[in-house]
């Protein structure tokens, strides 16, 4: 079965405390230039977020979040970029779509704000719903998956429940994308179990977005002397997952280094072309 080359969603963290690059793009002008650089590197979507969801993070005021993301979304959307807003708040989603965002990427899947699903239904935007159990400051307390089928079955069933809620709110099925939520209320072993086989999640019938880039479970895998590999030295491992996830047919990949991910996908696409050429030659010879 041919591999479907996924879309690349470039991360623009307009925050002081994100785990990968907190503070680097906090000023609007810096974030806008970073977004433009990601586009030049091959990003299909820019994901603009004003709230860190790293483990232990505390939430900004809604006014702070709006002040961080709206100027950036306005500028990048005006450039013609396909923009996603990374938010758990309906108020921010509404303002972001008004500013030009086409996608609402909600790590809580509508659980953090009771207005979110109704707001998205009215907005007409694509909605990315992630598997989520609790806010970042205490989500580790919910990283328990003892039921039949373990973490894979739990994530599948809980996402299916969110789909039911989305559909009931009036969000059309062709606007829904699901995300397994690597690292959110999940330990390293849970992430690996999910990555091993996304089949049960694909079986729900919706496109999948996966965000594995630079996450802590990769740092632990690459640890030296018990010390996790630093965040900015995990890109080779992230690139390996880019290829493996593309081969599992995901719709999109949320990445920090778009150029590295794009290079990996170009190699994969060329190999796919070579395979098709070989198949055609075999058919002709036969």
- The CA angle 215-155-147, to the nearest 5 degrees, is 115
Count the helix, strand and coil residues of the chain and give each as a percent rounded to the nearest 5: 50, 15, 40
Give the active site residues.
Answer: 215, 254
Q: E strands of 169-234, at which residues?
A: 176-179, 209-210
Strand partners, 129: 106, 178
Q: How many Å apart are CA 7 and CA 230, to the nearest integer? A: 26
Residues near 19 by Cβ (< 8 Å), separated by ≥ 6?
52, 54, 55, 214, 215, 216, 231
Q: How many Å apart are CA 41 and CA 141, to the nearest integer? A: 38
CA 44 and chain centroid, separation: 13
């Amino acid at each position: 079965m041919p591999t479907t080359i996924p879309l690349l969603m470039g991360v623009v963290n307009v925050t002081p405390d994100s785990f990968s690059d907190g503070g680097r793009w906090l000023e609007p002008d810096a974030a806008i230039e970073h977004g433009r650089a990601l586009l030049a590197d091959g990003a299909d979507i820019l994901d603009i977020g004003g709230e860190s969801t790293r483990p232990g993070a505390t939430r900004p005021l809604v006014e702070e979040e709006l002040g961080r993301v709206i100027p950036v979304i306005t500028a990048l959307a005006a450039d013609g970029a396909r923009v996603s807003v990374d938010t758990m708040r309906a108020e921010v989603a509404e303002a972001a779509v008004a500013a030009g965002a086409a996608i609402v990427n909600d790590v809580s899947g509508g659980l953090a704000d009771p207005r979110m699903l109704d707001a998205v239904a009215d907005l007409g935007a694509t909605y990315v719903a992630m598997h989520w159990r609790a806010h970042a400051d205490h989500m580790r307390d919910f990283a328990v998956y003892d039921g039949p089928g373990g973490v894979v079955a739990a994530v599948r069933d809980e996402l299916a429940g969110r789909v039911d809620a989305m559909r009931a709110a009036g969000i059309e099925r062709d606007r829904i994308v699901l995300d397994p939520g690597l690292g959110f209320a999940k330990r390293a072993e849970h992430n690996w179990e999910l990555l091993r086989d996304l089949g049960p999640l694909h079986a729900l019938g919706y496109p999948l977005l996966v965000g594995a880039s630079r996450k802590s479970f990769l740092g632990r895998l690459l640890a030296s002397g018990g010390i996790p590999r630093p965040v900015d030295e995990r890109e080779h491992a992230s690139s390996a997952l880019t290829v493996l996830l593309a081969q599992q047919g995901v719709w999109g990949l949320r990445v920090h280094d778009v150029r590295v991910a794009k290079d990996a996908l170009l190699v994969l696409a060329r190999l796919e072309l070579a395979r098709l050429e070989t198949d055609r030659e075999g058919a002709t010879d036969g």
